A and B are shown apart, each in its own frame.
Chain A
Amino acid sequence: MLHDKKLFLKKLESFFDEYGELRGQLIFIVDRSKVLECLSLLKNDKDLDFDMLHDLTCNQKKKGLELIYQMHSTKNSYWITIKSLIPSESLIAPSVTPLFAAADWHEREAFDMFGLKFNDHPDLRRILLPDDWEGFPLNKEYPLGGFKDIKPIWAYEEAEDLQNLPERDLLDSPIMKPEKKKKKLKIIKEDE
């Protein structure tokens, strides 16, 4: 990697609280109020030229969630990591969708898996799980088997058991009851 550590330190001086380096990878820790500003600098500065948001994800810490941006420069081919700690009391972060369209789905996934909400996100819904799912699976307190007691398929030894699988009543589930949401008929997006 060709990056110039001093350049980063100079440019990002006003943003990061601390920085680190592990195996040649620069990591900056930025307060969440400055994230948007910091990323826009990284994107627009011609020396840095980080034009791609390569990845956006979360990691659970004791104090809260760690929001992680992997910034990538397609021309210079290197990464830096921007981190921001979101305290568990208020799981809200600014959305970077206006800067990077790639953040759209990534932020939805972060919301889906960790319950982290993004301000001003155009369409914040669950993306991988069904919308009526309970809990946020990648949190450590979420058990591997899920909150609901679902028997694995090999637990049903006889064919009759399979016939008597607990049936989800589709008519009672919100999927088949659009009437409740008639007010919002026109939109797909729902405010969570």
Chain B
Amino acid sequence: MSEAKDFLTTKTGTLLEQESEDRFWLNMGPQHPSTHGVFRILLETEGEVVKNVKPIIGYLHRGVEKISENREWMGALPLTDRMDYLGAMSNNMALTLPVEKLMEIDVPRRAQWLRVLALETNRLASHLLFYGTLGLDLGALTPFFFAFRQREIAQYLLELLSGQRITFNYIRYGGVRGDITPQIEREFRNFISGFKPAFKEMWDLVEGNEIFRSRVIGVGKSDSDLLIRYGVTGPILRATGVKRDLRKDIPYAAYDEFDFNVVTHDKGDTYSRWICRYHEMGESLKIIEQCLDGMPDGPYIKKMPFFFKPPQGEIYSAIDTPRGDLGVYIVSDGSRFPYRIRYRAPSFCNLSVLPELLYGQLIGDVIAILGSFDPVFGEVDR
């Protein structure tokens, strides 16, 4: 194995040297089936036990912030779809929110409700993917297909609304792109009635399973202090018992008009994260149902010019995406082009705590913990 050691260099080309004879560096990624994209972790292992962790990111860096500065405000919107490509709706929402604040646009109520509908459907689809991929990471194939069968329908619904399956570009400044029609509403109701038994099945398939439980319970334990210090948000923080959800705390869109619970769990391990995301799906379903039942009348968009010029100023605002807080910081110099757009990506902050949690775990657990973080590397690298 002497030659293989030479290949293990960081992005700089700095050689990694093992500390003792018993250890070696294991390079996981950027091409690896379970790193959820192009993530690279260098693990110094002693047998199977991880003793040192070096995460390396940036393999999917496309310079979204730089490109956004060279486009009109409207043109920056479809770029956000490409960041968190599993929860693209919330990325659209995150950018429209500060711009609307800055321009003081009153978004019609129906538009806000449609936004909530789209956001929650997207959250459902995103968590369904998490459900499937965590199963894959643990070596079970079937949960993935169970989840994808439902996710496919959710994507279809979003396609009916927005016209695309993943990169929606649906939530626009001032409202949404298209209205909901009776036909689409019917499809939504069909989905809900079909989803409920499938949702129960997904629980039965995985939750009671002793092997699954022993793989996730107590693995990657974290406490809320550590996570807050690292700026970790979303279901991962909620899994440590912190009841914090921006949908409740600082309601955007029309979330203050809906009745839903913030799901928390107390252990802070992989199992808790799984439970949190699973029950969040149920809450999303509740919100979708309320949306369909009480959709208000009115216009679905407040018309505004394509090439608009927001006033000078800067705004920081954040929303709750399926992965955590997506903060957007915009600076406008009063021209047609944004002066600066900064995305505070939730996966980016969540991943930074990874070395703390991985120390002393087994290689199999590394995969499980990474899977429970549910990172999206389009968002980490931007």
Considering the chains assembled together, what is the distance between the CA atoms of A95 and B104 in angstroms?
36
Contact in complex: A178, B14 (CB < 8 Å): yes
Closest Cβ–Cβ distance, residue A27 to chain B (whole Å): 8
A131 within 8 Å of B by Cβ?
A: yes
**Partner of A70 from B65, B70, B249, B316 at Cβ < 8 Å:** B316
Contact in complex: A188, B231 (CB < 8 Å): no
Using an 8 Å CB-CB cutoff, how does the interface string of B248-288 with A read, 1 for contact, 0 for none? 01100000000000000000000000000000000000000
Considering the chains assembled together, what is the distance between the CA atoms of A130 and B40 in angstroms?
13
Contact in complex: A55, B316 (CB < 8 Å): yes
Interface stretch (choices B80-88, B105-113, B323-331): B323-331
Contact in complex: B331, A59 (CB < 8 Å): yes
**Partner of A53 from B66, B231, B318, B331 at Cβ < 8 Å:** B231
Contact in complex: A54, B325 (CB < 8 Å): yes
Chain B residues contacting A100 (CB-CB under 8 Å) are 229, 231
Using an 8 Å CB-CB cutoff, how does the interface string of B10-31 with A read, 1 for contact, 0 for none? 1111111100000000000000
- Across the two chains, which residue of chain A brings its CB closest to B101? A23
**Given contacts A70-B327, A104-B352, A144-B70, A128 and B381 within 8 Å (CB-CB):** yes
Contact in complex: A187, B340 (CB < 8 Å): no
B349 within 8 Å of A by Cβ?
A: yes
B242 within 8 Å of A by Cβ?
A: yes
**Partner of B9 from A68, A175, A184 at Cβ < 8 Å:** A175
- Across the two chains, which residue of chain A brings its CB closest to B246? A77
B230 within 8 Å of A by Cβ?
A: yes
Using an 8 Å CB-CB cutoff, how does the interface string of A82-112 with B read, 1 for contact, 0 for none? 0000000000000000001110110000000
**Partner of A190 from B12, B16, B228, B331 at Cβ < 8 Å:** B12
Contact in complex: B229, A102 (CB < 8 Å): yes
Considering the chains assembled together, what is the distance between the CA atoms of A37 and B6 in angstroms?
45
Contact in complex: A178, B231 (CB < 8 Å): no
**Partner of A178 from B9, B315, B340 at Cβ < 8 Å:** B9
**Given contacts A54-B318, A100-B231, A105 and B348 within 8 Å (CB-CB):** yes
**Partner of A176 from B13, B231, B315, B349 at Cβ < 8 Å:** B13
B244 within 8 Å of A by Cβ?
A: yes
Contact in complex: B58, A105 (CB < 8 Å): no
**Partner of B63 from A22, A137, A176, A178 at Cβ < 8 Å:** A137
Chain A residues contacting B352 (CB-CB under 8 Å) are 101-102, 104-105
Contact in complex: A178, B329 (CB < 8 Å): no
Using an 8 Å CB-CB cutoff, how does the interface string of B346-382 with A read, 1 for contact, 0 for none? 0011011100000000000000000000000000011
**Partner of B228 from A52, A70, A125, A137 at Cβ < 8 Å:** A52
Using an 8 Å CB-CB cutoff, how does the interface string of B222-250 with A read, 1 for contact, 0 for none? 00000011110000000000101010011
**Given contacts A102-B230, A104-B352, A105-B348, A129 and B61 within 8 Å (CB-CB):** yes
Contact in complex: A79, B13 (CB < 8 Å): no
Chain B residues contacting A48 (CB-CB under 8 Å) are none
Query: Which residues B194-233 have CB closer than 8 A to chain A?
Result: 228-231
- Across the two chains, which residue of chain B brings its CB closest to A177? B13
B54 within 8 Å of A by Cβ?
A: yes
Contact in complex: B327, A54 (CB < 8 Å): yes
**Given contacts A23-B101, A25-B315, A128-B381, A57 and B342 within 8 Å (CB-CB):** yes
Considering the chains assembled together, what is the distance between the CA atoms of A176 and B63 in angstroms?
26
Closest Cβ–Cβ distance, residue B241 to chain A (whole Å): 12
**Given contacts A22-B315, A77-B244, A129-B58, A144 and B67 within 8 Å (CB-CB):** yes
Closest 10 CB pairs of A and B: A102-B231, A77-B249, A128-B58, A131-B12, A55-B344, A175-B13, A128-B61, A178-B15, A105-B352, A57-B342
27 A-B residue pairings within 8 Å (CB atoms): A22-B314, A23-B101, A25-B315, A54-B327, A55-B316, A70-B344, A77-B249, A77-B250, A101-B229, A101-B230, A101-B231, A102-B230, A102-B352, A105-B352, A125-B12, A127-B57, A128-B381, A129-B58, A129-B61, A130-B58, A137-B66, A138-B65, A142-B66, A174-B13, A175-B11, A181-B13, A188-B10
Q: Footprint of B on A, CB under 8 Å?
A: 1, 22-23, 25, 27, 51-55, 57, 59-60, 68, 70, 74, 77-79, 81, 100-102, 104-105, 113, 125-132, 137-138, 142, 144, 173-178, 181-182, 184-188, 190
